[in-house]
Chain A
């Protein structure tokens, strides 16, 4: 399977970021700001900290645009990975004081920003639907890891299952979501 080549827009926006064009930064913020902020807010459960993470993610793109390689992956994935890693860094540092269960996080999920072009509400529902179709044990492991900031060892410990089982639930569940997104078309799922 080959990695998709970057889109013309991704190559162009990277070129403009490297050239210190502020409008490129504005453009990616407008495209992915709600995604980054929503993800950080859900993982951290603290809107002020989510603002800091959001700012850090876009400033990182501004200062080191060369880190994004359009021919190795999509910009949205790059930005999402950056945001998620920073958010879980934060959560792991804060440990028990800030960490909440994935169920609490779901209960605190803010209202989606339906106006953002890149992630319309239809998309969100499609993704949610795919997650809902997962076997409960896979969904639980994935949500604890992705939104709860747990490592697979912590997931295993929390669920009282062997580490190998935690790893396989994450792998199988994530592959099912990836397969489903592929079937409906990843581009459609995001736009």
Chain B
């Protein structure tokens, strides 16, 4: 909806009282952003609305303050993309150090052996590192990942696992170092520098978990701050993911509440390029670990315990689209 000055004046009271229809709120928010001269009047009316609420201040229950502070302590601050990748690299490297010869041929989720999975991680790292010197990027999507893997694994078929690990460590160190050598705005294979590093951290966790599961070992998780970085990237990509899947919903808003350490709450538009203002059409509550597994295509929607409040079809399309960019 396009808003005229007259329409905005007509709605300004309802807007300040949060009493507009959901489909109007995004347009009104955008109008305020585009017309700074009206910001003061909007703020003045919001002050008045807020003062209405002040008339009923009530002391919260005694335990609420402590509970809130406890939850805040569990939630995490932002971690840099470099630190996220470094942390997952260290966890992965530590796992590799525990593998016995008998573990190396175990089949993992995507059909590759443990040995080949490590080689696959190195090959994709190398492809991204190779992008650093390009002036025009070449997209590395799911199809390219499969192609690179198919082409490079035979090249290293005869090497020992120790050699594979050494190769992985060398390439990975170079990849982590891109944070210092490459400008943040440079695009690597179609992604910003920091998104690239988080994508690689995410894949490292995913394959860490593949190996862990193939060997029947106990689950371990990334640090909450690292999960948070991955989650934020996945949610930023969701509108595009829904468009790629052909299930974008224009002018529809979803709120994702991801529970557990590293989780949080995000409200987003369900189509690319749209603002995420107003009341959500659906609230989806799911564990942050299940969400990340869904993004990595390691769990089917039907196997995820999800609470949906609102438009169930929209929730279905959000969760279905989450794995749109998953590779091997």
Contacts and interface: CB of A to CB of B under 8 A. Distances in A.
Interface string A6-17: 000000000000
Nearest to A174: B13
B13 A58 contact: no
Interface majority SS (helix, strand, loop, mixed), chain B: helix
B310 interface: yes
B69 A35 contact: no
Interface in B51-84: 51-61, 64-65, 67-69, 71-73, 75, 77
Interface string B284-315: 00000000000000000000000001100000
Interface stretch (B35-43, B157-165, B187-195): B35-43
B57 A58 contact: no
Interface stretch (B16-24, B139-147, B238-246): B16-24
A85 B56 contact: no
B59 A77 contact: no
Given A29-B65, A51-B60, A171 B73 contact: no
B72 to A, nearest CB: 5
B57 A80 contact: no
Nearest to A39: B53
B298 to A, nearest CB: 26
B107 interface: no
For chain A, give the interface size range: 35 or more
B54 A35 contact: yes
Interface in A8-47: 20, 22, 25-26, 29-30, 33-39, 41-42, 47
Nearest to A113: B59
Contact of B56 (A112, A170, A171): A112
Interface residues of B, number: 51
A81 B50 contact: yes
Nearest to A73: B43
Interface string A153-182: 101000000001011111111110110011
B49 A2 contact: no
Contacts of B265: 56, 60
Interface of B: 9-14, 16-21, 39-41, 43-61, 64-65, 67-69, 71-73, 75, 77, 264-265, 279-280, 283, 309-310
14 contacts: A3-B40, A29-B65, A34-B57, A54-B68, A76-B54, A125-B55, A127-B52, A145-B14, A145-B17, A151-B20, A151-B21, A152-B11, A167-B13, A170-B14
